[in-house]
Amino acid sequence: MSNTSNANAKLYGLLLAGEFAACYRLIDESAMAPTTTDRVAIARLIAAEMAHFEELSAAVVAAGGDPDAVVGAHTKVFDQYHQATLPSSWLEVLVKIYIGDGLAADFYAELADRMPADVQDVMASVMGSTGSSRFAVDNVRAAIAADPALRSPLTLWGRRLLGEAITHMQWVLAEEDEVMDMLFTGDAGLATAAAFFDGIADRHAQRMADLGLA
C-alpha cells in the first residue's frame, strides 16, 4: 500500500471510529428524550449516523483497511470524550447533538482543500451537512425563551463541549502520524494546525449563537 493510500485508510478509520462512537452514544442519550417526537428525531439521527458508518466502512475497505480493527484501535479516545461530556438533562443532550454534529462538519470544512480529491468526495458526503440536527436549535431556543435562567448553564456547557472536543481531536489525530503529515505538512504545518482550530472555534461561536447561547 502506498503512503498516500495508507494515510487515506487511516483517516477514514479515524472518522469511522468517530461515527461508531457517536451512534452508540446517541442511543444511550436518547433515553432522556421526553416525547415521541423527540425520540423519532433521535431515531432519524441514528439512522443517518449508521448510513455514514456504512459509507466510511466501505471506504476503509477500499483503501485496504479493516473496519473492525480501526474502530477498536480508536475506541478509547472517543469513549473518553463522551465520558467527559455526559449530559445531565435533555437540553444538554440537544446542545451536544447540535454542537457535535457541527464539529464533524467543521473538520471537513477546515481541511477539505488539504485532502486528496477522492477523500474529499467521501468526506463531503458523510460530514458536509449538519441539517439532521437542526431540530435541536428550535427546542433549545424555545426552552430558553420560556426560562431565561437556562441560558447561562447551557452556555457554559457549550463552551465545555468545544474545549473537550478540541482536546480529544488533538489526541486522536496524534495517534496517526500519517494523517497528521497529510493534513498539516511543510514549514507552515504548525500555523496550519493553529488556523484549523481557530476556524473550528469561530464556527462554534456561530452555532452557539444559533442556539441562543451567544
DSSP states of the chain as a string? --HHHHHHHHHHHHHHHHHHHHHHHHHHHGGG--SHHHHHHHHHHHHHHHHHHHHHHHHHHHTT--HHHHHHHHHHHHHHHHHHT--SSHHHHHHHHHHHHHHHHHHHHHHGGGS-HHHHHHHHHHHS--GGGTHHHHHHHHHHHH-GGGHHHHHHHHHHHHHHHHHHHHHHHHT-HHHHHHHS-STTHHHHHHHHHHHHHHHHHHHHHHTT--
What's the pLDDT tens digit per position in 48-77? 888 888 988 998 888 888 999 989 988 888
Judged against a pLDDT cut of 50, whether residue 1 lies above it is answered with no
- Structure-model confidence comparison of residues 208 and 74, the more confident one: 208
Q: How far apart are CA 19 and CA 76, in angstroms?
A: 14
Confidence of residue 186 (pLDDT cuts 50, 70, 90): low
What is the overall mean pLDDT for the chain? 83
Residue 31 has pLDDT above 80, yes or no: yes
Instruction: Output the pLDDT for position 185.
Output: 65
Distance from C-alpha of 53 to C-alpha of 20, rounded to nearest angstrom: 7
Domain annotation for the chain: domains and CATH numbers: 3-210 (1.20.1260.10)
Inform me whether the pLDDT recorded for 122 exceeds 60: yes
Are the CB atoms for 147 and 46 separated by under 8 Å? no
What is the rounded average pLDDT of the residues 33-42?
92
Return the pLDDT at 87.
Answer: 95
**1 and 59 Cβ atoms separated by less than 8 Å:** no
* Grid cell in block for residue 102: 457541527
Residue with cell string 448510513: 51
Cell numbers placing 173: 489525530
User: Look-up: residue for cell 451537512?
Assistant: 129
Average pLDDT over residues 73-86: 88
